Amino acid sequence: MDTLQVRGLHFTYPKSGTRAIDGIDFDIREGEIFGFLGPSGAGKSTTQRILIRLLQGYGGEITYRGRPLSSYDNGFYQDIGVSFEMPISFSKLTALENLAFFQRLYAQHADVEALMKRVGLWDDRDKKAGEYSKGMKIRLNFVRALLNNPKVLFLDEPTNGLDPVNANIMKEMVREFRDAGGTVFLTSHIMGDVDELCDRVAFIVDGRIREMDTPRSLKIKYGKRTVRVEYREDGAVVPAEFTFDDIRTERFASLLQEKEIETIHSGETTLEDIFIKVTGVRLHEE
């Protein structure tokens, strides 16, 4: 079953002359991690804000679990967990006080101690949120998203601003959430994370979806069906390229048997290259 179905969605911010979302269709299946990728300003956060009912006045149809999203009351928020692009918390309250405040809004309660330990914040639980570092705020925000044992998680750039160790912990937690039956919508520019995490991805550019598939299928579609070999001959390194049809030939077999091979690479592409091809935008990653 699809958790969310989006049909012909379009949205224009008040006072803006152009559509931020310009007619998109996609489904998020139950139990999958669905990645929404695209350059800055493409409409990723806007789409998330619409899906979590923060923005009204959109055109098109959205159904959640088979019913129009607009027909749900605030009980919808019992079902979902959200982590925003900019972490929000009450800066004068401690981390635990923040979590206790938000937990009161929910019927279901996750184990705060276990979550805080998992993200490495338990020792800093009595520090004021305002005195947290950027990465600590992001982690606290992620715990907040899980407070109500949600069925669906919406994560806007979840690993952005985290060091690699904490990013890995978060990715592990997102995968576990999915493996336990949860559904995830996430946005990101970090193609490595997306490749590791997402079951399916959509590329959005200027409010339109340009491409949508599994990372594997996209790599096959955009990759070259070739094998590149470098071998040594008379002291020099000689490059050679074979198509997938060529590798069945005697020439390829004898090269592997007789030459001293230095490197072998397939022409498989990366999601980063696909991002550049599909969006026409080069990624600037630190």
Q: Which does 59 bind (CB under 5 to 8 A by kind): ligand ATP, Mg ion, none?
A: none
Helices (H), 104-184: 112-118, 134-146, 164-179
Secondary structure of residue 21 in the 3-state scheme = strand
Smallest separation, CB 137 to ligand ATP (Å): 17
Smallest separation, CB 178 to Mg ion (Å): 22
Cβ-proximal residues to 86 (8 Å cutoff; 6+ apart), any chain: none
Stretch that binds ligand ATP, among 13-21, 125-133, 224-232, 238-246 (CB under 6 A): 13-21
C-beta of 54 vs 256, nearer to ligand ATP: 54
Binding mask 45-64 for ligand ATP (x = CB under 6 A): xx------------------
Is 83 an interacting residue with respect to ligand ATP (CB under 6 A)? no
For residues 286 and 280, give the distance between their C-alpha atoms in angstroms, rounded to a whole number: 19
Structure tokens at 24: 């998109």
Is 137 an interacting residue with respect to ligand ATP (CB under 6 A)? no
Is 20 an interacting residue with respect to ligand ATP (CB under 6 A)? yes
Smallest separation, CB 17 to ligand ATP (Å): 10
Helix axis angle for 134-146 and 164-179, nearest 10°, is 10
Residue 44 contacts residue 187 (beta carbons within 8 Å): yes
Q: Which does 41 bind (CB under 5 to 8 A by kind): Mg ion, ligand ATP, none?
A: ligand ATP
Stretch that binds ligand ATP, among 41-49, 96-104, 163-171, 277-285 (CB under 6 A): 41-49
Q: How many CB atoms lie within 10 A of CB 123?
A: 9
Residue 62 contacts residue 4 (beta carbons within 8 Å): yes
Interacting residues toward Mg ion by CB under 5 A: 44-45, 85
CA end-to-end distance (rounded Å), the chain: 39
- Look up residue 172 and give its DSSP letter: H
Structure tokens at 181: 């039956």
Q: How many residues bind ligand ATP (CB under 6 A)?
A: 12
Residues near ligand ATP (CB under 6 A): 13, 16, 20, 38, 40-46, 85
